Amino acid sequence: MKFFDSLISGALELIQGLSETNYAYESCKAWTDVGFNQVILQKHSAFELSGTGFNLVTSSDIEEGITVIGSELCDIKKDCSFTRISLVQIDEQESEQKAYNLIRKIEYVKYHYFPDGYMIRTSSRSHKEAVRVSEDAVKAGISFQSVGNLLIDKYKENPAVKAVKVIFITSEKADHKTFEDMAQKSNAITETLNHIMNSVNFDCDTCNLKPICDEVEGMKELHFSTAAKKEVGE
C-alpha cells in the first residue's frame, strides 16, 4: 500500500536542512495518559500550538522514532505555528477495502490519546490541530519526546501497525502552509479509495476525483480493476 508514498517523500524533503532533534521510540518514556480530554483554561496555559496534524500510511519501511523540527516544548515561550505528521507503517493488506478500513482506524487514534496537560483540539472535518499546553505540564517536564512516545504506543495498539515516526514541527522556517496542503491531499486520497470501493459510477469523465486517480500512482489501476470485478460480479 503505497498511495501516500509520494506525500511522505515530499514531507521529508520539506524538512531537510532544518534544525532537528531525533529520539528513539521508548515506550517507557511515554507521557502520562489521563484517559480524557482535559480542559486547560487560558489562564493556566503556558502557550498554544496551532496548525495541522495528519497521518501518512504506507507498507514501505519507516524508521521509527520521534523527530522535532524547531523548539522542544520546554523551550517554547509563546504561541506558535505547529505541524504534526505521523508516518505509519502497516502490514500489506489483503485488499484495498481492508487497507481503507485500517487507514480510518489509524485516523481515529488522535481522538483516543490524552497526554496530561496537553489539550488537543481537532476536527473530524479537517486536519486542523491545536494544542494548549499547561504551565504545570511544562514545569513537570513534558516534551515532544514523551508525547510522541505516548502517541506511538496508541498507534501500535493495533497489531497491523509495524512502525511509526512522529514528526513535530514548530520551526518558523518550516513551510506550514504546504504541510496543510499535504494534509488535504492525504484526505482526498483516502476519500478516493472509499469512492472506488463503494461507487457504482466508474465513468472517469464525470468523476470529481479524477485528478487524484491521474496523479497518485496505482490509483487508476485500482479503479479499473475494481470496476472489472464488479462487472464480473454482475
Contacts of 47 (CB under 8 A, 6+ apart): 76, 77, 78, 79, 80, 132, 133
**pLDDT grade, residue 60 (50/70/90)?**
very high
What is the architecture, at CATH level 2, of domain 5-228? Answer: 2-Layer Sandwich (3.30)
Side chain identity at residue 130, one-letter code: A
Looking at residue 83, what is its pLDDT? 98
Mean of pLDDT over the chain: 88
Q: What is the pTM of this model?
A: 0.87
**pLDDT grade, residue 181 (50/70/90)?**
very high
The phi and psi torsions of 164 (rounded to 5 degrees) equal -140, 135
Average pLDDT of 109-124?
92
Task: Return the higher-pLDDT residue of 190 and 114.
Answer: 114
Selection from 160, 230, 173 nearest residue 200 by Cα: 230
Residue 143 CB neighbour total at 10 angstroms: 21
**pLDDT grade, residue 232 (50/70/90)?**
very low
Looking at residue 203, what is its pLDDT? 59
Cell readout for 143 is 516534551
Burial 74-86 (b: 16+ CB within 10 A, else e): eebeeebbbbbbb
Average pLDDT of 174-192?
92
C-alpha to C-alpha distance for 210 and 192, rounded to whole angstroms: 9
Torsion sign over Cα 116, 62, 8, 96: negative
Average pLDDT of 189-214?
65
Q: 1-5, 16-20, 54-58: which range is least confident on average?
A: 1-5
Residue 185 CB neighbour total at 10 angstroms: 18
Q: 10-19, 34-43, 102-111, 212-221: which range is least confident on average?
A: 212-221
